[in-house]
Amino acid sequence: MAAVGVDSGVMQSTGDAIKSRLEHGASIRPAGQWSLVWRRLRRHKLAMAGLVVFASIVLLSLVAQWIAPYGYEEMDLRNTYAPVLAAGAEGKPLHLLGTDGLGRDLLSRLLYAGRISLGVALVVTLASTLLGALIGAVAGALGGAGDSILMRLTDVMLTLPFLPMVLVLSSSLRQYARLQEFLGSNLSVVIIILVLLLFGWMGTARLVRGSVLTLRGQDFVAASQALGASRWRIIVRHLIPNSLAPIIVAATLGFGATIVAESALSFLGFGIMPPVPTWGNMLNEARNSPLEYLFTQALSPGLCIFFTVLAINFIGDGLRDALDPRLKM
């Protein structure tokens, strides 16, 4: 009894200490995994710079309809291929970055294009990460024949030549009359999302399967089983957080790769079709413009792709270091 009294006394005084510290505004909880990650990420200067650049690009695209001086389809056929800082038509704002072959304001198109390019990449990355995680987790959990089948399927998809296959699929899917009726002008956007999703899940699937297989045999999993943790608790508290790090890094870098892939397809004329602007199909239009205008037409959409992808690569690199301090390159 006495022992209990002492114990509760200690508890009491610790409780007081906590209370007094809380009153002074300091956190007493040990730093969680995520706040540690954030702390490490904040020290990574390039990742922070990347984050700022990426956040500004996202923000600018989100508010495109309020800040864009022109609509993305607004043409002025008397003012085509206008240079940087060209005057607009009477009573109209300046063309800060000039105009394209149909006299459309380049800056406004870039802002709207960012919305499509980033949106498509976001949807594709989220969906393919989820799909890959599902397939990988199922394969790892099933083992045996189910695992073999799923992993051979992954091999097949990885072996198919990516760019030609995606070109074939997007050009043939476009010919489905049923899809055309159903989707109308969104057709090319939906097709790109589907096709990139189809070819985007394999990396995550392999990652997740691998980490499920290694984690299953780890001591800390056995330890929490011995402590009576339920299977659900083990999955949520141990398996998911421990396999999350490589997935987050892969998804971040995958987001950048998806932007490049969508731009490449749109550049080749097999992706998102005009009048919907994306950075890729703006480059396609630049390529088809007279050679003397190629530089001004291609510079800004390309810089948008470059800065976005560079920022994401820096963020991904920072996340890799922050999420796994053991893995120091």
Cβ 220 to other proteins shortest distance, Å: 28
131, two tokens: 């799909």
Residue with tokens 């297989």: 213
Q: In this structure, is the dihedral angle defined by the CA atoms of residues 287, 289, 291 and 293, taken in order, positive or negative?
A: negative
Tokens of 283: 């480059």
Which is nearest to 285 in space by CA: 84, 102, 90? 102
**Shortest separation between residue 134's beta carbon and other proteins, angstroms:** 21
Q: Which is nearer to other proteins, 3 or 291 (CB)?
A: 291
- Report the residue number, 36 or 194, with the smaller CB distance to other proteins: 194
Secondary structure letter of residue 236 according to DSSP: I
By beta-carbon proximity to other proteins, the closer residue of 101 and 269 is 269
- Distance, first Cα to last Cα, the chain: 56
Its sign, for the CA torsion 63, 88, 72, 252, is negative
User: Please, what is the minimum distance in Å from the beta carbon of residue 171 to other proteins?
Assistant: 6
Cα–Cα distance for residue pair 104/112, rounded to 1 Å: 12
Gap between the Cα atoms of 183 and 300, Å rounded: 30
For residues 38 and 176, which CB has a smaller minimum distance to other proteins in the complex?
176
- To other proteins, the closest distance from the beta carbon of 63 in angstroms equals 25
CB of 311 to other proteins, least distance (A): 9
Rank residues 70 and 255 by Cβ distance to other proteins and give the closer one.
255
Interaction site with other proteins (CB under 8 A) = 152, 155-156, 159-161, 163-165, 167-169, 171-172, 175-177, 256, 260, 263-264, 267-270, 280, 283, 286-287, 291-292, 294-295, 298-299, 301-302, 305-306, 309-310, 313-314, 317, 329
